A and B are shown apart, each in its own frame.
Chain A
Amino acid sequence: MSTGRDNTQHQRDEGAEEQRHPQGDRSILVASQWQLMWRRLKRHRLAMASLVVLFFIYAMAIFAPFISPYDPFETYPQRTFAPPQIPRFYDPEAGFSIRPFVYGLTSEVDMEARRRVHTIDYDEMLPLHFFVRGEPYNLFGIMETDIRLFGVEEGTAFIFGTDRYGRDMFSRIAHGARISISIGLIGVFISFVLGVSIGGFSGYLGGGFDNAIQRIIEFIRSVPTLPLWMGLSAALPLHWPPTTRYFAIVAILSIIGWTGLARVVRSKFLSMREEDFVVAARLINASERRVIFVHMVPTFLSHIIASLTLSIPGMILGETALSFLGIGLRPPVVSWGVLLQQAQNVATLARSPWLLIPGIFVILTVLAFNFLGDGIRDAADPYSTEGV
């Protein structure tokens, strides 16, 4: 059952583990490769914190309608560019309250500046309630419900403020997470398929094919990506429905994204071809397919997962940049990049800095994926050096 590779791997890990636990935790001896990786990953604090952050962001994306207090397209014409109503626990007059509350807003039109001015009304305390009844919505297309995670019974609670049409930024960010984050995942999946098959063939066959593929990869990497992405996405027909456009953008992002992964897979195949356990498997007459999928792929699967994690940020940033420029996804589709488009004007930005909040979510997500990827890479191979 156990192959040569597994044994050496185990011995190496045991040695390392034994040094750290001189008394010897016997469970390590029978732990699988994945259990050992998980143990090492758990020691990487930043990676674990990132895992928690990503868990919350994904939960926000999946349960977006439930978490957001308002419909992302619902406009409140009286409340355009309203500042964030930050949830508080303390009021100078009423003292502490266990139940968080927000202050109400009074809005009036400044005739001179021709815009609405909102002032925080410190006398009006609006208690936040959990599981309140709001606008009805459809959860996952199966459940018709009107219960939302939080909200106020009277007045409004825009905890991240509103945009130019008076739409709740928090609800829009939660819904935008669905698009922005899924683009990263689907894009990475396409890059994965492309990268593993092309890189695998390239490394396994070698020779002229390998040479040609390497030149193409070098070429793609030496061309500035954003202008090329811009050119391709601007060529998409304008009349395409949002879903088609979404998948087209993902495809465009993946065309460039697969190269990094192909390189990792190829170099692993090249170095693995000469390894003892691969030669041994060949000698006992294992088929090519068996050699590849049973013996070679499992040894570098963890490296692939690490580089996959590290390539998600590029996809998210790419979509954000394209949508920000107005040639990626377009309204009414809500993504973080589309939301940031409203912040293009400095004068608007100076009056309503909360329009940049979607960007904070972009940074947070990208940071988390970077740290998690670093952690997985370290866990996958304790001997790897930085910059591989």
Chain B
Amino acid sequence: MASYIVRRVLMMIPLLVLVSGVIFIVIQLPPGDYVSRHVARLEMEGVVTHEAEIEALKRRYGLDRPVHEQYLLWVRAMLRGDFGYSFAVRRPVLSVVAERLPYSIIISVATLLFSWVVAFLVGTYTATRQYSPGDYIASFLGFLGLATPNFMLALILMWIMYSVFGFTVGGLFSPEYQDAPWTMGRVLDLLKHLIIPVIVVGTAGTAGSIRILRANLLDELNKPYVITAEAKGVPPFRRLCKYPLRVALIPFTSTVGWELPNIVSGETITAVVLSLPTVGPMLLRALVDQDMFLAGSLILFLSLLTLVGTLVSDLLLAWLDPRIRYDR
């Protein structure tokens, strides 16, 4: 197990290099460099800039050097915790990330748990009651959930809430708790506001997981050992839980790894529609303002979130399934 963990953690290093490389390209893509865009923005606001000031800024960000050196400078600064300064919100990038990333993590983890519990229950139900009305309804809703874009679902739920119950859904806190210190009441308020985002973000993933669990469990349930158990008179519930369910859960667990990127993607756009204080809306704003340092760092942190999530799920899987940790 220890050697597997070491190997798996070491695999993160090339992944991190690739992520940083891709994000550096995204930062570099827009025409003009960072400082000249900043200067143009200042001039539009009527601020007089001096040639020497611009040169100093360019030197500070290493813009007078070749591209690969700029990349290394950027990485070195990040390792020291300096993610640059956002001109769109006039704050250090790191403080923006620190403010918003926790909520993104909360929503992602909550969605993952929600989708897991629902998929487990519904998947087991539909597999054991194949072709029952419940099975058909679940399949139908599942397909619909897979086909509906996240933002569309968010819009529809908002519209229903607004026109039926007369209140606007949005944000993660009620106004009275917006700036309040953390109390039990605030936590409960947060949980109440989490329901809709979690449902919206989780639908597509849950639908996919249900299909996978149902298919795997159906395969298992038709195997001779289950029939033998039935012939010997093992009670139905025990017959289901003892082996078939456990075997079917393994591929199901492994899907979590690639579920997380989808959840983060979905969370990004859902947060824009529901105006949640997460990374998503800030990323959109940074991109529209062409504040590429902020945007790049936000994408970097979202990618980190999924990479770490995949790592955790792989380790969990190795712990669950000995075949994986002794393989190779």
Interface residues of A (CB under 8 A from B): 215-216, 218-219, 221-228, 230-232, 234-235, 237, 313, 317, 320-321, 324-327, 340, 343-344, 346-347, 349-350, 353, 356, 359, 362-363, 366-367, 370-371, 385-387
A224 near B265 (CB under 8 angstroms)? yes
Q: Flag whether B215 is at the interface (Cβ < 8 A).
A: yes
Residue of B nearest to A374 (CB): B143
A350 touches which one: B15, B162, B283 (CB < 8 A)? B162
Residue of B nearest to A239 (CB): B31
Contacts of A225 in B (CB 8 A): 261-262, 265
A231 touches which one: B261, B265, B299 (CB < 8 A)? B299
**A323 CB to nearest B CB, Å:** 11
- Complex Cα distance, B32 from A235, in Å, reads 11
Q: Flag whether B14 is at the interface (Cβ < 8 A).
A: yes
**B177 CB to nearest A CB, Å:** 21
Q: Flag whether B29 is at the interface (Cβ < 8 A).
A: yes
B159 near A349 (CB under 8 angstroms)? yes
**A321 CB to nearest B CB, Å:** 5
Residue of B nearest to A364 (CB): B147
A387 near B19 (CB under 8 angstroms)? no
- Complex Cα distance, B19 from A325, in Å, reads 24
Residue of B nearest to A226 (CB): B265
- Complex Cα distance, B298 from A290, in Å, reads 49
**B328 CB to nearest A CB, Å:** 13
- Complex Cα distance, B151 from A180, in Å, reads 17
Residue of A nearest to B211 (CB): A386
B29 near A232 (CB under 8 angstroms)? yes
**A167 CB to nearest B CB, Å:** 20
A234 touches which one: B155, B158, B287 (CB < 8 A)? B287
- Complex Cα distance, B296 from A320, in Å, reads 23
A223 near B306 (CB under 8 angstroms)? yes
- Contacts known (A235-B30, A387-B212); A325 close to B284, Cβ less than 8 A: yes
Interface residues of B (CB under 8 A from A): 14-15, 18-19, 22-23, 26, 29-31, 143-144, 146-152, 155-156, 158-159, 162-163, 168, 211-212, 215-216, 219, 251, 257-258, 261-262, 264-266, 268-269, 272-273, 283-284, 287-288, 290, 292, 295-296, 298-299, 302-303, 305-307, 310
Contacts of B296 in A (CB 8 A): 231
Residue of B nearest to A326 (CB): B288
B283 near A344 (CB under 8 angstroms)? no
A325 near B269 (CB under 8 angstroms)? yes
Contacts of B18 in A (CB 8 A): 216, 219
Interchain Cβ contacts under 8 Å between A and B, 19 examples: A222-B306, A223-B307, A224-B265, A224-B305, A226-B264, A227-B302, A228-B299, A317-B149, A324-B149, A327-B284, A327-B287, A344-B273, A346-B162, A347-B162, A350-B162, A356-B156, A366-B147, A386-B211, A386-B215
- Complex Cα distance, B306 from A303, in Å, reads 30
B287 near A349 (CB under 8 angstroms)? no
B26 touches which one: A216, A232, A387 (CB < 8 A)? A232
Residue of A nearest to B158 (CB): A346
A235 near B283 (CB under 8 angstroms)? no
- Complex Cα distance, B310 from A223, in Å, reads 10
Contacts of A232 in B (CB 8 A): 26, 29
Most A C-beta atoms less than 10 A away, residue of B26, B156, B265? B265
**A244 CB to nearest B CB, Å:** 14
Contacts of A221 in B (CB 8 A): 258, 261
Contacts of A218 in B (CB 8 A): 15
- Complex Cα distance, B17 from A215, in Å, reads 12
- Complex Cα distance, B249 from A378, in Å, reads 24
- Complex Cα distance, B145 from A313, in Å, reads 13
- Contacts known (A224-B306, A350-B162); A235 close to B29, Cβ less than 8 A: yes
A234 near B290 (CB under 8 angstroms)? yes
- Complex Cα distance, B295 from A359, in Å, reads 28
B219 touches which one: A317, A346, A350, A385 (CB < 8 A)? A385
- Contacts known (A227-B302, A363-B148); A321 close to B155, Cβ less than 8 A: no
B147 touches which one: A235, A237, A344, A367 (CB < 8 A)? A367
**A100 CB to nearest B CB, Å:** 29
B144 near A367 (CB under 8 angstroms)? yes
A370 touches which one: B147, B298, B305 (CB < 8 A)? B147
- Contacts known (A346-B158, A346-B168); A324 close to B302, Cβ less than 8 A: no
**A149 CB to nearest B CB, Å:** 28
10 shortest interchain CB distances as A-B pairs: A235-B29, A234-B287, A226-B265, A386-B215, A224-B264, A366-B147, A231-B26, A367-B147, A359-B152, A224-B261
A227 near B298 (CB under 8 angstroms)? yes
B146 near A370 (CB under 8 angstroms)? yes
- Contacts known (A223-B306, A234-B295, A235-B26); A363 close to B290, Cβ less than 8 A: no
Contacts of A347 in B (CB 8 A): 162
Contacts of B26 in A (CB 8 A): 228, 231-232, 235
Contacts of B258 in A (CB 8 A): 221-222
